[in-house]
Copies of this chain bind each other. A is one copy, B any other.
Amino acid sequence: MPIRDGVGDTAALTNASDIFSLIATGTAVSRSALLERSGLSRVTVTQRLNALIAADLIGEAAETLPSGGRPTRVLTVNRQVGHVLVANIGESHLHLALMSPDLMMIAQSTLRYEVAEGPTATLNRIADGFRQLQAETGDNGILLGIGLSLPAPVDYKRGRVVGPSVMRGWDDVDIIGPMAAHFDAPVYVDNDVNLMTLYEYRRHFQLADDILYIKVGTGIGAGFIADGKIFRGAHGASGDIGHIQFDSDDPPLCRCGKLGCVEARAAGWAIARDLRALGFKAENARDVIALVDEQVPEAIMLLRKAGRVIGEVTADVVSILNPGLIVVGGTLARGGDFLLSGIRELVYQRCLPLATRELNIVLAPPQADIALLGTGQLVVDNVFSPPGAADLLNRIVASMTRPVADRPEGARRRVRRAG
């Protein structure tokens, strides 16, 4: 039996990150699967798994999987290993949440917010809000990671908003640094549409590895999963389909200053504009949907027209990217087939058969807080990835009460590198 002290065999624990990652990501959830996938010997797997179980990081689920012989015991990450903190910065609200590693909301809070506050004050308020959530909910284990969702283009690698956008004053300002100064955990930042895309992919449509998510709300944006990963482009500006221009007689003026953008023809704000011109009261996408729900013919007509405009640009995207599935979400997606039929029509009409012969175009399942959940998903995907798991286990070991410094050198030496 390996040497153990009160907190388990820390050396074995830090080396167990590969095993932990396999279980946490769902890649291998049984001992025999771990044996195969890890390439390690049975003895080593057993030893590392024991270290993880002794440290209460991994546990055995009640259920077993049938195997033809002795049933497989299923391993899962203990929910109490830690928690995730996420924030969605909207145009007028900050939405914060504390989640379990399986993305269950444990606590949330909503704060009023104005862009004019600027990044420093906002990040401080978010940090305070996070601490309050932590205090409210008692012990939720270690902080696994922090995620922020922003309504602007984000250079993901650098963790910054890039370019002029709704987030005035945030351009090229470091977000990760200040946030990481508040908490000892990795911080991830991404654009909200990317995160919604990620959530739809991981939770509802994991089977297709190349999916296009189109968000039709007050504005229009798109996210793309390529080969199972969020596609971000060179500077995080990908998916900007709202400002693709089409020629036409009398092109409408877009809020970006150009003429004839898709947004100016089909976004919630544009439909609301047209409804107002017809004498209705409508300010945003929600108002439009309210009128559609009341069966107002003009609203329905305009929504159908918007569907065809979006269909036109979607057809271009399909020709360029060849996605395996298109998911339509956002407020206007509640208009259902009124919106979808136009998209389908144009895509199937304009694209070559190869690109569409197995292409489905579906509505996103109605669900609140997708951006927030997607943010949690991003954090968890990273934290449980092989390098993320290595970092996490190092942090867990370091946070264990008994200092490791007074143990013999050998106990800490063999720590596997991240890559």
Give A residues with C-beta under 8 Å from B: 39, 153, 162-165, 208-210, 222, 226-227, 229, 231-241, 243-248, 256, 258, 313, 315-317, 319-325, 350, 352-355, 357-359, 416-417, 419
A132 to B267, CA, bound (A): 62
Neighbour of A235 across the interface among B231, B247, B320, B358, CB < 8 A: B358
Would you call B354 and A241 a contact (CB within 8 A)?
A: no
Would you call B235 and A355 a contact (CB within 8 A)?
A: yes
Can you give 25 A-B contacts (C-beta < 8 A)? A39-B417, A163-B352, A163-B357, A210-B233, A222-B320, A231-B321, A233-B323, A233-B355, A234-B325, A234-B359, A235-B358, A236-B322, A237-B322, A237-B352, A237-B354, A237-B355, A238-B321, A239-B320, A239-B322, A240-B352, A241-B320, A244-B350, A258-B350, A317-B320, A321-B321
Please name the residue on chain B nearest to A418 by beta carbon: B39
Nearest Cβ distance between residue A384 and chain B, in whole angstroms?
A: 18
Nearest Cβ distance between residue A321 and chain B, in whole angstroms?
A: 6
A163 to B356, CA, bound (A): 11
Complex contacts, A313 vs chain B, CB 8 Å = 316
Q: A208-B234, A210-B233, A258-B350 are in contact. Are A355 and B240 (CB under 8 A)?
A: yes
A359 to B165, CA, bound (A): 19
Nearest Cβ distance between residue A162 and chain B, in whole angstroms?
A: 6
Complex contacts, A162 vs chain B, CB 8 Å = 354
Q: Oligomeric state, in number of copies?
A: 2
Complex contacts, A209 vs chain B, CB 8 Å = 234
Q: A208-B234, A209-B234, A417-B39 are in contact. Are A319 and B354 (CB under 8 A)?
A: no
Neighbour of A234 across the interface among B210, B244, B317, B319, CB < 8 A: B210
Main secondary structure of the interface of A (DSSP, over half): loop
A315 to B241, CA, bound (A): 11
Neighbour of A247 across the interface among B164, B247, B325, B417, CB < 8 A: B247
A236 to B227, CA, bound (A): 12
Nearest Cβ distance between residue A140 and chain B, in whole angstroms?
A: 34
Would you call B353 and A164 a contact (CB within 8 A)?
A: yes
Please name the residue on chain B nearest to A346 by beta carbon: B245
Would you call B233 and A321 a contact (CB within 8 A)?
A: yes
Q: A208-B234, A210-B234 are in contact. Are A240 and B322 (CB under 8 A)?
A: yes
Nearest Cβ distance between residue A373 and chain B, in whole angstroms?
A: 25
Extra pairs beyond A233-B324, A247-B248 (15, CB < 8 Å): A39-B417, A163-B353, A164-B354, A226-B231, A232-B322, A233-B321, A233-B323, A233-B355, A234-B322, A234-B359, A237-B322, A238-B322, A239-B322, A240-B320, A316-B316
A319 to B241, CA, bound (A): 6
